[in-house]
Amino acid sequence: MVKGLYTAYTGMINEQRRMDVLTNNLANANTNGYKKEGLTARAFSDQLALKIKDYTDAPNTARGLGIINPGVKIGESYVDWSEGPMKETNNTFDFAIGGRGFFAVEYTNKAVNIERDTAGQMDVMYTRDGCFTMNVNGEITTQDGDYVLDDSGSHIQIDPNLPVEIDTLGNVIQDGAAVAKIGVYDFEATTYPDGRISYDNLLHYGENFYIPVGDDAGAEVVENAKVYSGFLEQSNVSVVDEMVNMIATQRNYDTNQRMITTIDGTLQIAANQIGKV
């Protein structure tokens, strides 16, 4: 009976973590390029229940009572990399990628301790959020001022005084000539039979940035990648689906909670009433 308390407890912890993920997905339903996350659940390994210190049997002999399961735990977290819907903005410096790939951004940690590092910490991060702009120097940056990189890993420098056109291959055209190319990078991924993909070497950072980890997580330029100017990829979170999953998760949590209450009441009867007999 006490083992039932632990089983219900693990179920509550599992549903609480699932609720955290669902809440984060809903919070980012309007975040450009956001990919929803999820959790899988798995049972703990079955164990053989043994009856010990039973002196009706031979000394130091444990009698098997059957198989028990200690409960459930989080199996793994995953990211749904399916494309989100595209929204037309008519802004030249809004980009959306058709198919696989990421934009490369020279990210600066703006919260760095200035006394320790006056230059800030810079690293290359990757995102599907193509909400960019052009600064006064003619460089394409994110809304936070981080530099967007071209297909050679350099800053994208254009003439701010000339009209700009971006074709579907990501070429930045001014005065009839290509002066730069928007960099689209991709990583090695596992492709499943149903078409789903999984990036095992990308670590989520912030709302919609990703950092490659591991020795084999090198970024490669995607040749002939489709880049659509004047469009933004929206989050692939379905608010309705997440709300339905949230209701189901809450019900599962409540069920485990009621199980604990029931077992606790049974234990009280066993200790306070039966124990007096």
**Contact criterion met (CB below 8 Å) for 19 and 246:** yes
| Distance (Å, whole) CA 132 – CA 148 | 8
Q: What is the pLDDT of residue 35?
A: 93
The residue to which tokens 């670590």 are assigned? 203
Distance (Å, whole) CA 89 – CA 71: 49
Q: In sequence order, which residues have a C-beta less than 8 Å from that of residue 162 and are 6 or more positions away?
A: 174, 175
Which residues touch 94 (CB under 8 Å, ≥6 apart)? Answer: 130, 131, 132, 229, 230, 231, 232
- Nearest-angstrom CA–CA distance, 24 and 237: 10
Task: Note the pLDDT of residue 113.
Answer: 46
For residue 51, give Cα distances in angstroms to 62, 68, 187: 6, 13, 53
The reported pLDDT for the residue numbered 259 is 85
Q: Contact at 8 Å (CB) between 234 and 85?
A: yes
Which residue type does 251 have?
A: R
pLDDT at 95: 97
Count of CB atoms situated within 10 Å of the CB of 216: 10
Q: Which pLDDT does position 4 carry in this prediction?
A: 73
Give pLDDT, residue 65.
56
- Do 158 and 134 form a contact (C-beta atoms < 8 A)? yes
Question: Residue 128 burial (CB < 10 Å; 0-12/13-18/19+)?
Answer: buried
Q: Cα(105)–Cα(123) distance, rounded to whole angstroms?
A: 8
Residue from 209, 258, 255, 214 nearest 102 by CA: 209
- Non-local (6+) Cβ contacts of 131 within 8 A are 32, 94, 142, 143, 232
Q: How confident is the model at residue 116, as a pLDDT? A: 40
Give me the tens of pLDDT residue by residue for the chain, a chain 277 residues long: 567 777 887 888 888 999 999 999 999 999 999 999 998 877 655 555 555 555 555 555 555 555 555 667 777 788 999 999 999 999 999 999 999 999 999 988 766 544 444 445 568 999 999 999 999 999 999 999 999 999 999 999 999 999 999 999 999 999 999 999 999 999 998 888 888 888 988 988 887 899 998 766 788 999 889 999 999 999 999 999 999 999 999 998 899 888 888 887 877 777 667 656 5
Q: What local confidence, expressed as pLDDT, does residue 1 receive?
A: 53
Which pTM was predicted?
0.78
Structure tokens at 236: 């692939």
